[in-house]
A and B are shown apart, each in its own frame.
Chain A
């Protein structure tokens, strides 16, 4: 879901800039921009102030919108359900650790038999 590199970044930058301008132009004060995220997201809501109503009160129209910028909107939700990284410079030295490699290697039953079907519904 990378909208922060290449041509997609250029498009995302332009869209965010222009949508932000529109939101500010119309006085939408509740403006949210997640430009660093993938997918990129811009949301705004507020009151569009118009002419005065017959009773003298300000005639306001409420508006809210969300713009999501993604290579594939259908997959955007699925693609952001996991995150991880390895600890840099982690000490991996070990003299003795719990390792089941030898146990598994000697498992003649498992190696000769196929994985059984999971019969749970």
Chain B
């Protein structure tokens, strides 16, 4: 029995919070979804088949091995304070989209793999505390090649410092700029290994959904950049 999944997003750019509702409906029948939100700006709806393959991203990517991988490549004085989060984001909403818009179509959706870090600050920073915090992003381009095989590559990286660093903004930036790119190679290796089991399958299409991609009930998602699923169509 097919499923209608209807998602509404906080922002027109298909970012922010989202709510998805999935209902089964009979062939040639109707699906019924009602919403009570006034602060939603965009929606997506999709009829899904039972044969679609759902891969919730965070459970797949937030593994002990991947945590060790990112921890081993953190900048000096930084430690991860969240798990690995994996969601969806249009290219136009990333640093790459704002600075090199020709690299991808603006509305191409990438995987946003991110985590937050705490960074120690030494005495001379006068930051009003002994630390600051930043969010590190690795953007992953997941797609199908001409043979229908799943391919995943690290497209670019970005960090955002979310708290003050006093006089040490430059020093912290230098540390992050030196450290974050070191994660690209190991992460690419991990990604290649993660999609290897799918290499013997061919798929017809790929799309993303907020949340875990469930096929029934409501899925409340606080931020689609932190939680999404990939759907593969056989």
Say whether A associates with B.
yes
A74 contacts the other chain (Cβ, under 8 Å)?
A: no
A86 contacts the other chain (Cβ, under 8 Å)?
A: yes
A5 contacts the other chain (Cβ, under 8 Å)?
A: no
Q: Are the C-beta atoms of B169 and A79 separated by less than 8 Å? A: yes
Given the known A-B contacts A32-B122, A77-B164, are A94 and B100 also in contact in the complex, defined by CB atoms under 8 Å? no
Closest Cβ–Cβ distance, residue B207 to chain A (whole Å): 5
How far does the alpha carbon of A116 sit from the alpha carbon of B11 in the complex, in Å? Answer: 11
Q: Are the C-beta atoms of B170 and A101 separated by less than 8 Å? A: no
Which residues on B sit within 8 Å (CB–CB) of A92? 103-104, 141, 155
Contact pick for A95, options B143, B158, B165, CB 8 Å:
B143
Taken residue by residue from 72 to 112, chain B's Cβ proximity to chain A (1 for < 8 Å, 0 otherwise) reads as 00000000000000001010000110011001111111000
Range of interface residues on chain A? 35 or more
Q: Are the C-beta atoms of A82 and B124 separated by less than 8 Å? A: no
Which residues on B sit within 8 Å (CB–CB) of A81? 160-162, 169
Chain B interface, DSSP helix/strand/loop, else mixed: mixed
Q: Are the C-beta atoms of A45 and B123 separated by less than 8 Å? A: yes
Q: Are the C-beta atoms of A95 and B144 separated by less than 8 Å? A: yes
Taken residue by residue from 85 to 115, chain A's Cβ proximity to chain B (1 for < 8 Å, 0 otherwise) reads as 1110011111111111101100000100001
Which residues on B sit within 8 Å (CB–CB) of A23? none
B234 contacts the other chain (Cβ, under 8 Å)?
A: no
A40 contacts the other chain (Cβ, under 8 Å)?
A: yes
Q: Are the C-beta atoms of A100 and B96 separated by less than 8 Å? A: no
Which residues on B sit within 8 Å (CB–CB) of A48? none
Contact pick for B208, options A32, A95, A98, A110, CB 8 Å:
A98
Contact pick for B156, options A43, A87, A101, CB 8 Å:
A87
Which residues on A sit within 8 Å (CB–CB) of B180? 83
Q: Are the C-beta atoms of A82 and B158 separated by less than 8 Å? A: yes
Q: Are the C-beta atoms of A80 and B169 separated by less than 8 Å? A: yes
Which residues on A sit within 8 Å (CB–CB) of B154? 87, 90
B148 contacts the other chain (Cβ, under 8 Å)?
A: yes
Chain A to chain B contacts (Cβ below 8 Å), 21 pairs: A39-B169, A45-B124, A66-B124, A70-B170, A81-B162, A82-B95, A83-B158, A84-B156, A84-B157, A86-B155, A87-B154, A90-B155, A91-B153, A92-B155, A94-B144, A95-B148, A96-B204, A97-B206, A98-B108, A99-B107, A100-B107
> Which 3 A-B residue pairings sit nearest by Cβ, starting from the closest?
A80-B169, A43-B124, A37-B170
